[in-house]
Each structure stands twice: as structure tokens, then as C-alpha cells.
Structure 1
Amino acid sequence: MSPYPKLMEPLQLRAATLRNRIVMGAMHTRLETLDRANERLAAFYGVRARGEVGLVLTGGYAPNPDGIFEPGAPAFYDSSRMDEHRAIVGAVHDGGAKIALQIVHTGRYAKHDRCVGASTLRSRINPIGPRAMTTEEVWRTVSDFAATAALAREAGYDGVEIMGSEGYLINQFTAPFTNQREDEFGGSLENRVRFPVEIVKAVREKAGDDFLLIYRISAVDLVEGGMPGDEVQELARRVEAAGADLFNTGIGWHESAIPTIAAAVPRAAWSYAVRNVKEAVSIPVIASNRINTPEVAEDIIETGVADLVSMARPLLADPDFARKARLGRADEINTCIACNQACLDRIFTERTATCLVNPRAGREIEFADAPALSPKRIAVVGGGPAGMAFAVNAAERGHQVTLYEAASELGGQLNMARAVPGKSEFNEMLRYFRTRLTALAVELRLGHAVEAEELGRENFDEIVVATGVRPRRPDIAGLDHPKVLSYVDVLSRKVPVGRRVAIIGAGGIGFDVAEYLVGQDSEALVPEAFLSTWGADAELRSAGGLTEPAGDRPPPRELFMFQRKPEALGRRLGKSTGWILKTKLRRAHVAMIAGAEYRAVDDAGLHYVADGMPHVLDVDHVILCAGQESERTLYDRLVSLGASVRLIGGADVAAELDALRAIDQATHLAVAI
């Protein structure tokens, strides 16, 4: 019996029987923009179906040309691409799962010249302003949703999901602040919910009674002028009466000033909003957002918050999540760490999505993963993300791997990253790698700073060097002064840090150090603390579910961040997470100085020039976060001895603490050897 009986319980929905309560949530991938797109999409969904999810939701398809997100984005309003959809459906059905097509009209989020909306109010995240839809166009769009649902049925889908959340078109009609209409679709609550209700009615009539109809409802808008909780409940009741079989819950709009899915959000933080929907209806409800372990998912169902759980990014990280949970092997799940670096950040910068912890995601057809024809003895030096990823992937193919690590524990610079508030999910990455290395019988030699000559005596077939990086020391007078520390000293907790601190360097490491020095773990671990800090109304009484954020707490330190470039600090942080970190530091009153020239550190403090004026900042410590250099001492020695050696990770390219690049490179090399 599975340790997660509620999660693994089957569910009957009209003609569809779901084998468990795990739903693969819809997500944008941009896979449709690549060559062999159909094959890629079928493989992408198919591998997750074989991983035993109960229901797959596709990425969003527009029901008409106005509704696409951008030119070339997915749409399904004629039968010209029917074969492509049938291939996707076939791959999922062959894997034993059910599949529903998500239908989404992006409304004022559309990045093209046909952008339309409930009103002419432009979104702050889109430079293109919408044209207000006429009443006739609204009714025509209702018919377009129904027509796409009929096409989905013809293609073999088990159902559709109507996207009514995240600030897309339907949500723009339901929220008072974006609905400034004076016709039958605007004004009163009854008028504002008419659009989604009529869509559900039309879809049910067009697609038939045995077709699964899911409505994704905005459980909490998290924008000023959004719906309060009682209006969300009334919308849910009316959509249920119109013919919906299942509610999926969305959290927040894309333009919300409150994080919703990043690692800064505690697990299951939005349960209160999901429960609000559940209490209003009699049909099943799906919980979503920041659910990344079977334990959390089981608790959500067992406590009555919801009947199913939706996981999108966790199934990028591990397509076999459901199967491992069923078998009681949760320790082998490659857990989503909610970093957003390879998924959302890539989507928001017009690239295809993949996953930091699983580079195969979205690239399934590029990895054959066949057993090695000639297994080799391979030495890997360095137990950071690159070394561990290579060792696991090489051992999975049958190679005999020995992993050397000079420190007494695995992890490398991950051990520093996981010390930062909001990055505790890195513990899951380390747990996964340790579990797999043990299961694959990789020989671990920890606390062993191996020498080139020793490696030579072992007669390995391959040597892979993943020795990482070392902090770069900038050319500043006085770096040997006792006030000067490196980020390694700080994040490794080797030394105490004073109350007035200057941070030199404002890249990702500089911001991590700042967060470490002034942040609080509770904000990313305790839902109540998170909601209070960011101003989310857990009672859902206010418009949009917002309330006043907790007042700024006195920071434990006075921080000053410096960078040489004369531009705003943090411009190169992650697209979907950088604003969160900058907001937190601003609330902690961290001073940020751009265009600085560093002159010296001495007893008086940090000497620098800004805006042409010399300054002396009296501080207790100056922390160097001025970049890294590749650590290649061992590599250079091996090359000098004539050894054949491969170089991966930071030892190859020292760019920030780039676990994304390191794991990707290591995985590709392991598959190639």
C-alpha cells in the first residue's frame, strides 16, 4: 500500500477515471517554436503520463486569433493541426493518463496588434494597450471557446480546461478594476460573471455530457480591485451550475505584487484560498501552487482543502513523481526547488522551458539514455552540482564511478546557497543526489583532496574535473585588512558579521549575501508569516484578497551594496524572482550605490568614489562578492602530465554560482561518454 493513500485514490469524473489525484498542471513551454515540435510535445507529455500522473493539462491554446499570447503561439480554432493533437493525446493515453486541452484567451496580456480586453485599461506588464471588445465580439468569443472544445473532443482529448484565472481575458471580465463595461457583461457581479458562465454553458452544450469540463478559477486575484472571497464563491457556484465537472485553482495575476510560486513562497501557502472555493461547491477542486512533495499533497487532500493537487514545475523536475510516490520511494523524487531559472525565467525571456534539476525536461527526444556499450571506470573530482549530476547520470548508464570531494560533505557551493533565507529547497536537491549516489553504488571519497598523481595511478578510463570556482579578489588596496571577508566566509558561517556592512558586488551572490544578512527564514517557511509580510488577506474579505503588509521590521544590520556599473542594482537577476529579492531588501532599508570606484579598505572603513566625489564609509566589515574564477589547479596539473581529462561546471566557466549551466553540461557529458 502506498504511504499516500488519499493521493493515490482513483477518481471518477463523467466518462473518465483518473488513476490518482495528481494533475500535471498546464504550463507554457514554447516547445511549439522548435523543430520537430509535434514529436517534442508528444514526448514531453507522454513521459509524464508514463510516470503515472492521473490527468495531464496541456499548455494553453487560443480559441481565436485575438487570443494568442504572441505571434506563433499555440491556437486551436480549425482542424488543420488535428494530427498533431492526436499524437499528443495518443502518447498520453498510451501512458495510462487522461488529458484535457487548456483553452486560454490572453486578453490584454497579448503581445500583438490585435490585443483586446474587457476594457481599454492596459496591463502594467504589457506595453500594448487593448481595444475594448464589443458586445458582439464577447458573444462570438463564447462561441469560439465552445468550437475549440468540440475540436478537442474530435482530437481525442478527454476534456478541456477553461482558463479563468491568472489575469487572462475571463479574469479581466470578473474583476471589477479591469471590467469598466456598461453592457450586459459589466457592472454588477451577475454581469461580470456572465462571460465565464456562458462559456461553460456553451462548451457543455457543444462538447456533450460525457466530456470533462474543468474551470480554472482565480481563487484569489492578489490585485487591487480584484474579487473578494465571497464573490469568488458565488462565481464558483454559478460555474458549477452551468456544467463544470471540476475546479482548478489559480493564484494571483501575472502582474500581482505578491509572489505566488517562487521559493520565497512557503509550501501550500495558498490553501486558505483553495479551501474557500472548496467550501462553496459540491464538485471536486484541485489545489495548486507550491506543492512539491507527496507529503504536502497528501496533507492537502486528507485535511479537506482540495480533492486533487496540480503540479506543473514539480513534473518538469521529475516526470516519475507519481510512480515514485505510489511505490513509497519519495526520497528518490527529484524535487522542484522553485528557482524558476530554467522554466519561468526562460519563458519570460522568449526561450523554451526546461528545468535546472532535470535538463531532460522539454528535451526528451534529445536524450537517448541508452546503457553504455562499453562501461568505463570514471573518476569525478568535485562534489558540487556538476560533479554530482555527472556521477549520477554516468552511473545510471552503467559506468563505474568514483567521486572525490575535498570537503567532508557533498554539495559544494550549494551548501552556501541553502543557507540563504528562501533557498531551503536546495536541501531537497542535495537529498536527491545523495540518495541516487548511494543507490547507484557510486564510490564516495569525501574529505579527500585527490592529487593528479594519485588519479594517474588508479588508471581510470576517464577523468572529469568539476572543482568549481574560487572567489575573485578585485584590485583594491587593503584586502588583507581584518574588516574584509569573502562571501564564502559569510555563507559558510565561518565568521561573525558586524552590524554595519558593505557588500562589494551586486550580482546574484551579492544579493544572496544581503538576503542572508537581513532576511528571515520564516517568511519562506511559515505561511502566516509570508502572508502577513506581503499583505495577503487570509480571510479573503477584501477586494483582490489584499491587506496592508506588516510594517517594516528593524533590520538586524545596516547594509550598503555597491557595484561598478552605473545602472540600477539587480537588473540581471532572474526575471521572475529578482523583483521579490529587491523588494525584500528595499523593505530592510538596504542602501544601493551604483557607479562606485573602490579605492581602499582600512581602519576607517571602505574608501570609494561615487558621482565624482570621494567617500569613506565606516563599516564593521566589507564583504567581497566580486565574481569568481575557475578553480583549475588540478586540471592544469593533469594536462601537464598528459592525462585525458574533461572539464565541467564552474571549473569550465565561472559565471556566478550557475548550477543551471553546471547540471546541464554535466548531464550532456554523462550521456555522451
Structure 2
Amino acid sequence: MSHPFEHILQPLDLGFVTLPNRVIMGSMHTGLEEFPPQRQAAFFARRAAGGVGLIITGGISPSELGVLGPGMCTMTTEADAQKHKVITDAVHAAGGRICMQILHAGRQSYHPVNVSPSGKRSPIYPFPPQAMTEEVIEQELNNWVNAAALAQQAGYDGIEIMGSEGYLLNQFLTTRGNERDDAWGGDFERRMRFPLEVVRRTRERVGKNFIIVYRLSMLDLVPDGQTFDEVITLAKELEKAGVNIINTGIGWHEAKIPTIATMVPRAAFAWVTRKVKEAVSIPVSASNRINMPTHANDIIARGDADMVSMARPMLADPDWVNKTAANKEAEINTCIGCNQACLDHTFALRQASCLVN
């Protein structure tokens, strides 16, 4: 007799590594990133023991210019890598695999010194950015590659490149964030140069046997965002550049359209993931308002995606996957999408928790 959730429980072969199932614990900033690594190690190891196929950390900046706010976490030195080894060792001891998300905030930063492709200020962040010079662009590319190499040194199984949610890579891709008229802006081919250079140079540095996930903004949901033809073009180029998995990102932080709140229907954006999946041959993961095994399994069964990514549901119940495998869906502490103790705390620079756990 087949398992009712057999599709999300199937292993996924990436060629050099096989993930035990199709469930990603998606990136979310918990506030633990700025504490000694033992707390993050315990947090992620508990989720690894709960059966999740691949964990992605909260966003870690590749440089001081890319931080989300003053004093927030970076991966820039061997000392940073050594601290993170505490995390990767704990996850691996629990039988899990983990990728570090590299996130450059660009203009979406609460730090007074920040940068963007052409100096355009975000309508929701307080500090105006500096326009990136050619020298700064090259510097930040090098910093990104260095962060990936340090993540590899720290024992991570891979990285996720944050190219969604309106952060720096996403800013380069749109006329909303990029008004340059040089080799890094103008037509879409030049606007996508920076994110593609990040991927190409990273792949060259870390080699073939290291997971690269790219968080792709499939719907920007802001004026002057990418067209869907541009999204598809970028997805194809990302595959050529060496990405192993494309993960769905929906909406900038500046967007006024709800994307993860309770009012958003379950799996509301799986349709857009399917369109990207049909354009590439690498695995594509669905995201946003996927919180129960029935919906997650249906997404893969329909062919909308190869994987599902869930962040808040793993905060609500670290045993989500194990309960799914045991066919105990009714026992899962269900994320209700309230955001009151997780995202609201995060944006207030407080530690995330959960109202149902």
C-alpha cells in the first residue's frame, strides 16, 4: 500500500548527493544569528532530527555593506567559519544537511551605510543608499565568493543565494532598483549580469560537489519589477551558471500584496513555480503558505514543483517531517500564518518564537 504522502517523502538525487526527502526548511531570520553559535546549533539540529531533507539558515551577509542592520551577522573571516562549524557539526550529527543563505541587503537595510545599484532609496527603509561604483561591484562580488568558500570551509553542504524579496540581487534585476546605463544595467541582459556573476564565480570557487540553491523572485509584485519572460530567461541562465536548485521567492518587502499572511490561500503561488519548473531541468521548490503535508504532497504530485520549502511550519513543529512520515498529519502543530511571534519579532530586532509552539 502506498504512503499517503509518498511524493514529498521520495529522495531527491542531485548527482553528488541525495536528499532523503523533498522538504526544505526555508530560510528565516530568528534572532539567534547574533548569539553564540551553540543556540543556533541546537535549533537546527532539532529540525534535522525531525527529518527535514535540507535546512537553509537565516540570511548571512557577505560583507559589512550588505548587513540587514547594525551589528548583524556576516561571513567574512576564518573565525566566522569556525563559529559556524559548531552549527554544521550539530546538524550532521543529527543526520541532516544544511545550506547557509548568503544575503546582501542592498538598500533594504537598517544600517546607515548601505548600497544599491544606482542609489535609489527604498520607500520603506530609513537610510539612503550609496550608488555602487565599478570598484564596489567587484569588491562585493569577491566578498560573495569569499563567503561561499568560508561556508564550505565551515562544513555547510551548500549555500542559498538570496536573489529574491527585493534584496541586492533582486534590485539589480529591475528598473525599480537599477537605473544604471553601463555594463551592469540598462537592458535585461545587463541587469542580470551581477546575479549571474555571483553564481558563476561561486561555482568556480566551490567546485561541483557543493549545493547551490538560488532563491529566485518569481513575482516581484511591485511596479517596474521583472516581467515573467525575464524571470524565465534568468532561470535558464541560472541553470547554465551552475545552480542545483531554484527556490521560489514571492514579493519584495516593499510590495503591498500579502504573500504569507493567514489570508493568503494555501499554496497560492504554486502555479508560478510550475511555470519556472517547465522551463528548466533542475529541481524547483515551491514556497509560501505551504504548511500541511496534504498540500505539500499535492504540489509535487501535480507536477507544480520538485520540492517544497517551509520556514515557519518548522518553527511551529520541528517534527513536521517525522509526523508526516508516520502518517500523523493531525498531530502536527500547524503554522497559522499569524506572523505575530516570528516575523513581527524579527522586524523589531527581537528573537523569533511561535504562538503555536
Report the TM range for the smaller structure's normalisation. Answer: over 0.9
SS of 1:241 mapped into structure 2: helix
* Alignment partner, residue 287 of structure 2: 288
> Following TM superposition, by how much is the alpha carbon of 1:32 offset from its aligned partner in structure 2, in angstroms?
3.0
Output the CA distance in 2 between the equivalents of 1:59 and 1:219: 20
CA deviations 1:159-217 (Å, max 9, x no partner) are 11100000000000001221101110100110000011111000000001111111110
- After superposition, residues 618-657 of structure 1 pair within 5 angstroms as none
1:245 corresponding residue in structure 2? 244
Aligned-residue offset at 1:91: 1.3
Give the share of equivalent positions with the same residue, in percent.
51
Q: SS where residue 108 of structure 1 aligns?
A: coil
**Structure with bigger gyration radius:** 1
Deviation at 1:228, TM superposition (A): 1.1
Residue 14 (structure 2) aligns with: 13
SS class of match (1:107): coil
Residue 169 of structure 1 corresponds to 168
Which residue matches 2:303?
Answer: 304
- Matching residue's letter, 1:172: Q
Deviation at 1:279, TM superposition (A): 1.6
Partner of 1:337 in structure 2? 336
Q: Partner of 1:6: helix, strand, or coil? A: helix
1:23 aligns with 2:19: no
Asked if structure 2 preserves the Cα contact closer than 8 Å seen for 1:218 and 1:252, the reply is yes
Structure 1 equivalent of residue 141 of structure 2? 142
Rounded to whole Å, the distance in 1 between the matches of 2:320 and 2:33 is 25
Q: CA deviation at 1:334?
A: 0.4
What residue in structure 2 maps to residue 351 of structure 1?
350
Question: For 1:446-491, what per-residue CA distance to the aligned partner results, in whole angstroms no more than 9, with x for missing partners?
Answer: xxxxxxxxxxxxxxxxxxxxxxxxxxxxxxxxxxxxxxxxxxxxxx
Question: Which amino acid counterpart does residue 23 of structure 1 have in structure 2?
Answer: I
The reply to whether residue 89 of structure 1 matches residue 88 of structure 2 is yes
1:610-644, Cα deviation, whole Å (9 max, x unpaired): xxxxxxxxxxxxxxxxxxxxxxxxxxxxxxxxxxx
In the alignment, the residues of structure 1 paired with residue 190 and residue 249 of structure 2 have an alpha-carbon distance, to the nearest angstrom, of 22
- 1:16 and 1:158 in contact (8 A); partners too: no
How far 1:110 moved relative to its partner? 1.3
Question: Which amino acid in structure 2 is aligned with residue 322 of structure 1?
Answer: V
Letter paired with 2:202: V
1:462-541 aligned within 5 A:
none
Counterpart check, 1:42 vs 2:41: yes
| Change over 3 Å in CA distance of 1:112–1:251 after alignment to 2 | same
Please state how far the C-alpha of 1:286 moved relative to its aligned partner. 0.7
- SS of alignment partner, residue 86 of structure 1: helix
CA RMSD of aligned residues (A): 1.0
Find the aligned partners of 1:53 and 1:179 in 2 and give their Cα distance: 37
Shift of 1:329: 0.6
Shift of 1:224: 0.4
The residue type equivalent to 1:345 in the other structure is: D
Partner of 1:233: 232
Matched, 1:325 2:324: yes
- SS of 1:201's equivalent? helix
Q: Which residue of 2 aligns with 1:112?
A: 111
Unaligned runs of 5+ residues in structure 2 are: none
Q: Distance in 2 between matches of 1:341 and 1:268?
A: 20
Q: Which residue of 1 aligns with 2:209?
A: 210
Taking structure 1 as reference, are residues 160 and 33 closer, same or farther at Cα in structure 2, changes over 3 Å only?
Answer: closer
Contact 1:324–1:330 (Cα < 8 Å) also in 2 = yes
1-structure distance, mates of 2:175, 2:82:
41
Structure 1 counterpart of 2:134, one-letter code: T
Structure 2: which amino acid aligns with 1:89? T
Residue 352 of structure 1 aligns with an amino acid whose one-letter code is Q
Bigger RCO of structures 1 and 2 (CA < 8 A, at least 6 apart) = 2
Secondary structure of 2:214's match? strand
The answer for the alignment partner of 2:68 in structure 1 is 69
How many Å separate the matches in 1 of 2:76 and 2:16? 25
1:152 and 1:233 map into 2 onto residues whose CA distance is: 29
Which aligned pairs between 1:612-623 and structure 2 lie closer than 5 A? none
> What one-letter code is carried by the residue in structure 2 that aligns with 1:258?
I
CA distance in 2, matches of 1:134, 1:356: 45
Distance in 1, Cα, partners of 2:317 & 2:147: 31
Offset, 1:83 = 2.7
How many Å separate the matches in 2 of 1:50 and 1:138? 40
The alpha carbon displacement at 1:16 in A equals: 2.0
Indicate the residue corresponding to 1:263 in structure 2: 262
Mapped partners of 1:241, 1:108: distance in 2: 28
Alpha-carbon offset, residue 265 of structure 1: 0.4
**1:11, distance to aligned residue in structure 2 (A):** 0.7
SS in 1 for 2:6: coil
Partner secondary structure for residue 214 of structure 1 = strand
- Alpha-carbon distance, 1:31 to partner: 1.2
The aligned amino acid for 1:147 is: N
How many residues were matched structurally? 356
**1:120 Cα offset (Å):** 1.4
Q: CA contact under 8 A between 1:213 and 1:243: conserved in structure 2? A: yes
Distance in structure 1 (CA, Å) of the matches to 2:306 and 2:265: 20
Question: Is the CA contact (8 Å cut-off) linking 1:14 and 1:212 kept in structure 2?
Answer: no
Take 2:79 and 2:3, find their aligned partners in 1: how far apart are those partners? 44
Describe the superposition over 1:27-61 as per-residue Cα deviations: whole angstroms up to 9, x where unpaired.
01111344xx3111001101000000000001111
For 1:7, what is the secondary structure of its paired residue?
Answer: helix
Match of 1:99 in 2: 98
Partner of 1:182: 181
What SS class does the counterpart of residue 248 from structure 2 fall into?
Answer: strand
The Cα of 1:87 is off from its aligned counterpart by 1.1
Partner deviation per Cα, 1:335-369 (whole Å, 9 max, x = no partner): 000010100111111211010001xxxxxxxxxxx
Q: What amino acid is aligned across from residue 22 of structure 1 in structure 2? A: V
TM-score w.r.t. length of structure 1: 0.52
Equivalent pair of 1:317/1:334 in contact (CA under 8 Å): yes
Quote the Cα distance in structure 2 between the aligned partners of 1:334 and 1:104: 29
Please name the residue that 1:156 is paired with: 155
The unaligned stretches of length 5 or more in structure 1 are: 359-673
Contact 2:33 2:58 in 1 (8 A): no
Structure 1 residue 275: Cα displacement = 1.4
For residues 296 and 34 of structure 2, what CA distance do their matches in structure 1 show?
A: 33
Report the CA distance between 1:98 and its aligned residue.
Answer: 1.0
The separation in 1 between residues aligned to 2:335 and 2:12, in whole angstroms, is: 26
Secondary structure of 1:254 counterpart: coil
**In structure 2, what residue type is equivalent to 1:166?**
E
Alignment of 1:380-399 (within 5 A): none
Question: Structure 2 length as normaliser, TM-score?
Answer: 0.98
After superposing on structure 2, the runs of 4+ consecutive aligned residues of structure 1 that deviate more than 4 Å are none
Q: Whole-Å Cα distance in 1 between the matches of residues 126 and 157 of structure 2?
A: 37
Shift of 1:278: 0.9
- 1:64 & 1:32 partners in 2: Cα distance? 15
> In 1, distance between residues paired with 2:301 and 2:175?
35
Write the distance in 1 (CA, Å) between the matches of 2:246 and 2:196. 13
- Structure-2 separation of matches of 1:239 and 1:287: 17
Alpha carbons 1:285, 1:306 under 8 Å: kept: yes
**Residues 21 and 54 in structure 1, CA contact (< 8 A), matched pair in contact too:** yes
1:57, 1:161 within 8 Å by CA — same for their partners in 2? yes
